[in-house]
Structure 1
Amino acid sequence: MKTITIETGQNIIDIAEQEYGTLEAVYHVCNDNNLPYDALLYAGQKLVIREFGVDDILFINVAVLNEFKRKEKDGLPFLVNSRTPMAELPPAETVDLPSFYGAGAVGLNAEGILGLTQIFRQSQAADDLPFVADMERLFYATPSVFGHVAHAYQLGGYDARTSFDELMMNLIINGEVQPYYVLRLKHDTYLTEADNFKITFR
């Protein structure tokens, strides 16, 4: 999978055409990003896209993608843009979205993330969140408006950020699609108190 950034005016159909060359690929865009088919996108929103030759793709038109490749200028990708009205993402300082943490299977999906323990970070609080878990694969999910997680400090001060993969996942919060960064511990392990982390954001 690769990650793309939505430009102002783009919609789900634009992304299906741009990245897969066919409208039918709306199926991939929506299912891989936990989006309803009629979702409005945010300018700057991150979406995950399947990579040709790497991931399984049911719907793709290589001829159209090759034509888009021919239209690239100065190494910049060709963008499909219908100039659609966008959903407005509230500024980070006004957002009080929940973060999620806990343990689960390696393939934990959006519904599973929503079932983890919630914690809120008030906008006036410091840019850190304490998390505690005592099971196998550890997950942290934080709203993308907080920024990427820069550090994951264990007790004692060791930064274990490189022990986590980072995924992009869209969650439905209060009926609205919200992009989240999901940290997933790379290896199954039995976590003890020494494996609790305190995360900070960029």
Structure 2
Amino acid sequence: DPSRSLLAERANGAIGSAVVPVLEGTRTLLVEVQALTSPSVLPTPRRVATGIDHNRLLLVCAVLSRRAGIPLANQDVIVNVTGGLKISEPAADLSVALAIVSSYRNEPVDPGLAAVGELGLTGEVRRIPQLERRLQEASRLGFQRCLHPGDPIARESSAAPLQAVSVAHIRQAVCLGLKPQVDVIG
């Protein structure tokens, strides 16, 4: 099972990690995207992309800065797709964004969450092809929720254990995607 194999070494609740259902030929795969942000000592912060298009990373960083209020102008941002895969579709934008925000805020993405959607320059989460197949794969591997673009009513037919959550904007996705932090008082 390729999806299980790709996620086998994923640390549950790791900061800077998000899962995206991608199309690889005729197959749907769940892939881990990892991100690391770090204060830059350089006048121009570095943007390093392994497994995704460098220009997509620049777009995601710009949208996060301008539309979601995540100040990345003084941060180096490094993104890696695990398993040596290369993701060529913009449907991974939302997971890349959540991984970056997770690293920047030092808060994990909800470990039971997958996220898929293209980001537009105004911060909107744009529709992607074959959403139902992606939701079914996330459900098959035991994910409880999947953030996606589109009409929430149209997605209720998805596999029963998966809660398909429709998001319209990157700010909404960030609020719903990061794991709620519970303060424990001594």
TM-score for the superposition, normalised by structure 1: 0.25
Which fold has the larger relative contact order, with Cα–Cα distance below 8 Å and residues 6 or more apart in sequence?
2
Q: Which has the higher helix share?
A: 2
Of Structure 1 and Structure 2, the greater strand share is in 1
TM-score of the two chains, using structure 2 as the length reference: 0.27
Flag the structure with larger Rg: 1
